[in-house]
Amino acid sequence: MAQNIQDVLSSFSQRLSRFNKSSQTERTLPPSKDSYYEEKLRERGERLRTSVVSTYKIFRAPFEALGEQSDRAASLDKDEQNLLKAYNLYKSCMDIDKENQDEIGATHIKSVELYSPLADKASYTTGGQFVYLLCWLFFEQNCQEFLPFFKDIDNHFVLCFSRTDGFQFADSHEKEIFELVKSEFYS
């Protein structure tokens, strides 16, 4: 039995001396499932960040990004101007409404729905690109009192606005894009 213990200790000593002679000071563990998923999430986040930055650069300055002769740049510029006009029209209505209210429960504007050519573009109404126009309006034009959104009324989209403090993004992806634009371009 003493021989067995001595053999075990000898074997352990040999392994320990090999470990001490090794240049590697820490034991390397195989990657865990958690680290795999964390890496995939990091990669997804970086792909999203890259996509949002490159897309917003186009919305932020279409002619600069796409060229002075670009039809797409001209179309985006027109869309931005249409959104700005809609914002100003809505804000004017709200300002007039505020001026005319003299008592609680007085006659007032309950809702304003605007027709806009933007409502005819699927890339904005259902394609996920409208958040970039929203960012342009909010950050570049400093129109921050109201935020735009589309409402589907009888299978036809109308442009509406909501006070910024009560605004709800259509989904978490839009909010994530808004926050990325804010941090990458305006922080």
> Exposed, middle or buried, 93 (CB in 10 Å: 0-12/13-18/19+)?
middle
32 against 111, higher pLDDT: 111
Whether 175 is in a domain gets the answer yes
Whether 30 is in a domain gets the answer no
What integer pLDDT is reported at residue 102 of this predicted model? 66
Question: What would the pLDDT profile of 151-162 be if each residue is shown by its tens digit?
Answer: 999 889 999 999
**pTM for the structure as a whole:** 0.78
What integer pLDDT is reported at residue 169 of this predicted model? 94
Whether 50 is in a domain gets the answer yes
Which residues form the domain of 73? 45-100+110-185
What integer pLDDT is reported at residue 113 of this predicted model? 87
Task: Give the span between the Cα atoms of 88 and 130, in whole angstroms.
Answer: 18
Question: Number of structural domains, the chain?
Answer: 1
Task: Give the span between the Cα atoms of 112 and 159, in whole angstroms.
Answer: 9
Question: What would the pLDDT profile of 71-106 be if each residue is shown by its tens digit?
Answer: 999 999 999 999 999 999 999 999 988 887 766 667
SS3 category, 136? helix
178 against 109, higher pLDDT: 178
pLDDT at 63 over 60: yes
Whether 68 is in a domain gets the answer yes
Whether 85 is in a domain gets the answer yes
Cβ atoms within 10 A of the Cβ of 158, count?
16
φ, ψ at 158 (rounded to 5°): -125, 155
Whether 22 is in a domain gets the answer no
